[in-house]
Amino acid sequence: MLSLTNKRILLGITGGIAAYKCAELTRLLIKAGAEVRVAMTRAATEFITPLTMQALSGNRVSLDLLDPEAEAAMGHIELARWADLVLIAPATADFMARITHGEAGDILTTLVLATSAPVALAPAMNQGMWADAGTQANLAILRERGFAIFGPASGEQACGDVGLGRMLEPVELAEHAAALFEAGYLAGKHLLLTGGPTREALDPVRFISNHSSGKMAYALAAEAAAAGARVTLVSGPVNLDTPRGVKRIDVESAEQMLAAVMEEVANCDIFIGVAAVADYRPAEVVTDKIKKSADELQLRLVKNPDIIQQVAQLQRRPFVVGFAAETTDIIANGREKRARKGLDLLFANDATATFNSDSIAVTALSAQQETEFAPANKQVVARKMLQLIANLVA
């Protein structure tokens, strides 16, 4: 399965008739999971418009090296750093000659010089130009420097000639681009996670909540995205940045979290319930702020929905993973919770040592086995957890 999940591809378009194929190429790269940004030479705009490429990529197209808006933040350098892969398609004979000699006279040649990402070229030119000794000498130098060369193909050309020089078709270019990246152990999987606490309102200014920081869920989301998964994170209120490549849905209450999960769960392969969902909520939310008057205040609480159990009971359900943050009898309580809720896997841990901490120790509990993960940074443990999950769902 073609997968470019969470990859950042900078598509460079030069001035050749094959530039029209970049519309379909962009569509295929995005469909494979990549984020695409486009940089074009001025000659390329004679063949396909920047507006077309902006509409297809969803990002502003870079055209000028000395763009006053972009250069306020050294835009071309930021773009060069952003990319996981620079793909030049089509790569004309002129462009190949210029980058062979280290020229930096426009946005695209400058990006090629500035980036530390791999650069791939999809040559496209007349068969005579391709066969020319100068082009072949440039090609040899570029290959020696580590440039990936995709094609060209042989066939009928726009000028009527037949021979080598046609740009590869978009689907072939997308496949070659994907082959440059090692497929992650979760490639092609969609993970849905919950994370952080929930807040259950008492009145407009007060709520019931807990000490969950969300760090474990966010570590899992980041590692899953790095492993090639498409990741959706339903998050309660936390002070954390969204991991790269992760779709984040913000919620407050348990009922909001349940609604968001049920909206997404039909399309996921793995569900991981990490959130510290409040077990109870106030039976009534007061419209106005509760005044401090009486010496005592009684609250009537009602049970919140059990999100992970509802997911586990779905007729068409994903692989369901839960967490049990316990204060006593951690393993025994974890076993009981996994069996009672019908979970495929559960990670049990000491709640008093986990909340707001950067490290964690857990025991993975399934019907077949129990595996201990020694105390370590949550990012490290998250990777081990996901590798175990990947092995179980393979």
Q: What percent of the chain has pLDDT over 70?
A: 95
Same domain, 329 and 275: yes
Tell which residue, 375, 360, 362, 368, has the closest CA to residue 331. Answer: 362
Strand partners, 359: 377
Residue 354: its pLDDT value, please? 63
Question: Which CATH number do you get for residue 166?
Answer: 3.40.50.1950
Q: What is the pLDDT of residues 176-187, one digit of tens each?
A: 998 888 778 898
User: Which amino acid type is present at position 23?
Assistant: A
With 0.85 as the threshold, say if the pTM is over it. no
Same domain, 238 and 382: yes
Q: What is the pLDDT of residues 108-127, one digit of tens each?
A: 999 999 999 999 999 999 88
Residue 351 has pLDDT above 80, yes or no: no
Same domain, 171 and 245: no
Question: Which CATH number do you get for residue 252?
Answer: 3.40.50.10300
Domain count, the chain: 2
Report which of residues 72 and 306 the model is more confident about. 306
22 annotated active-site: no
Cα–Cα distance measured from residue 214 to residue 195, given in angstroms and rounded to the nearest whole number: 5
* Whole-Å CA distances, 284 to 78, 221, 296: 51, 34, 17
Domain-ending residue, one of 151, 179, 207: 179
Q: What is the mean pLDDT of residues 138-145?
A: 93
Q: Has residue 294 been placed in a domain?
A: no
* Residue 85 CB contacts under 8 Å (≥ 6 apart), including other chains: 7, 8, 9, 10, 117, 118, 119, 120, 177, 180, 181
Same domain, 70 and 196: no
Cα–Cα distance measured from residue 340 to residue 326, given in angstroms and rounded to the nearest whole number: 16
Confidence of residue 1 (pLDDT cuts 50, 70, 90): very low
Domain-ending residue, one of 148, 179, 210: 179
Same domain, 194 and 113: no
Report which of residues 351 and 127 the model is more confident about. 127
Q: What is the pLDDT of residues 2-26, one digit of tens each?
A: 678 888 999 999 999 999 999 999 9
Same domain, 175 and 194: no
Residue 294: its pLDDT value, please? 80
> Which range of residues forms the domain containing residue 116?
8-179
Confidence of residue 355 (pLDDT cuts 50, 70, 90): low
Residue 45 has pLDDT above 50, yes or no: yes
Residue 256 has pLDDT above 80, yes or no: yes
**How many beta carbons lie within 10 A of that of residue 57, not counting itself?**
22
Q: What is the mean pLDDT of residues 252-264?
A: 95
Confidence of residue 193 (pLDDT cuts 50, 70, 90): very high
Q: Which of 51, 137, 159, 301 is catalytic?
A: 159
Q: SS3 for the chain, per residue?
A: CCCCCCCEEEEEECCCHHHHHHHHHHHHHHHCCCEEEEEECCHHHHCCCHHHHHHHHCCCCECCCCCHHHHCCCHHHHHHHHCCEEEEEEECHHHHHHHHCCCCCCHHHHHHHHCCCCEEEEECCCHHHHHCHHHHHHHHHHHHCCCEECCCEEEECCCCCEEEEECCCHHHHHHHHHHCCCCCCCCCCEEEEEECECCEECCCCCEECCCCCCHHHHHHHHHHHHCCCEEEEEECCCCCCCCCCEEEEECCCHHHHHHHHHHHHHHCCEEEECCECCCEEECCCCCCCCCCCCCCCCCCEEECCCHHHHHHCCCCCCEEEEEEEECCCHHHHHHHHHHHHCCCEEEEEEHHHCCCCCEEEEEEECCCCEEEEEEEEHHHHHHHHHHHHHHHHC
Same domain, 111 and 207: no
Residue 69: its pLDDT value, please? 62
Residue 64: its pLDDT value, please? 82
Tell which residue, 329, 364, 315, has the closest CA to residue 344. Answer: 364
Residue 263: its pLDDT value, please? 94
Least confident of 73-77, 119-123, 242-246, 292-296: 73-77
219, burial (CB in 10 Å: exposed 0-12, middle 13-18, buried 19+): buried
Same domain, 219 and 132: no
